[in-house]
Structure formats: C-alpha cells, structure tokens
Amino acid sequence: SKIYSRVEFAGGRRNNGLTQSLVERVMHFSRQLDPFTHTIRACGPGEVTVILPYQARPGEEIQGMVSTRQETLRRSLIITPRRLVRDWAPQRFEDLTGDDFQVVMELQPEIVLFGSGGTLRWPDGALTAPLMARGIGVEVMDTAAACRTYNVLTADQRQVAAALLMI
C-alpha cells in the first residue's frame, strides 16, 4: 500500500510567507484504504479523525467501492486495526499510570505506538515495562508521528495499537 500525506493549514494559507506553527496545522492522510480496519484520516491540535471500518450486513457481498464513515475524536484514544477505545483515561502526559498501559496490553498488540502529545516525551520505564515483559514492542513519539506510523503499520497488516494523547 502506498501512503500519501499532505499538510493543510487550519485557518487559511501562509501568513506573510511564513508557515503557521506546528501546533496550528492539521495533517491529513490519504492512502489506499482497507475498508475493514480503523484508519487515521487526520490529526491536529485537539483532535484526531478516524475512518471507521465498514460493517457488512450478514450475507452481503461487497463489490466495488465501499463507503466509509469517519469520526473526529477530541479526547485521548487507543486505536487498533479492529478496535477503537474512544476515551482513554489519561488526558495529559502527567496523568499516565500503569493502569493506562494495562488497557493497551489487554488489546494484545505486537507493537504499541505511544503518542505523547505535541512534543516527544518519554513515559517512566516502569509504566511500559509490563508491555515489554510480554514481548510487546513500545515506540514513543509525538502524536502526529504516531498517527502516521500507525497507518503505515496497519497497511502492512501488523497488530499495532496506537495510544494517543491529544496534541
């Protein structure tokens, strides 16, 4: 699958030739979609837009294009190809606890992408140690990078979970 990204600036175009700050821009992603997985469509300050998987009706044959639905979330979330946790408990980096990562572990991913918000911040090693003890990889990055990486790994059919704090 090919991944394409394009940056659109919230509130218009360039201001006096200078681009708006990272915090003010919204990044939209486009790619050849698997209509049966959760995909991240866009992420920006205070929101992540998710394309929801198509739900076939019993006995329905799928031919051609499949219409998709999307949802914009404004609270921390966990997303996997098959599950969406819409209101992950920590809303700020300082709120993280071991129980928050236990919720991620119960989804049984092979790798966890932790989006730490607008800047890269590493959680205390004790919080992620139970994941690594079970052989679950943990990658830490800012939330925008975690969104992009999630789509790439999902396209490669990896069992990934992205635990995302808002930018």
Please tell me the predicted confidence (pLDDT) of residue 131: 97
The residue among 162 and 3 whose pLDDT is bigger is 162
The pLDDT-based confidence of 61 (bands split at 50, 70, 90) is: low
Please tell me the predicted confidence (pLDDT) of residue 53: 86
Question: Looking at the DSSP assignment, which residues form a beta bridge with residue 51?
Answer: 39, 70
The tens digit of pLDDT for each residue in 38-57 reads 999 999 999 999 999 877 56
As a whole number of angstroms, the distance between CA 141 and CA 61 comes to: 40
Please say if the pLDDT value at position 26 is more than 60: no
The tens digit of pLDDT for each residue in 103-138 reads 999 999 999 999 999 999 999 999 999 999 999 999
Q: Angle CA(115)–CA(117)–CA(120) in degrees, nearest 5?
A: 75
Question: Looking at the DSSP assignment, which residues form a beta bridge with residue 138?
Answer: 112
- Asked if residues 130 and 82 have their Cβ atoms less than 8 Å apart, the reply is no
As a whole number of angstroms, the distance between CA 108 and CA 95 comes to: 23
The residue among 27 and 44 whose pLDDT is bigger is 44
Query: In the predicted model, what is the mean pLDDT of the chain?
Result: 82
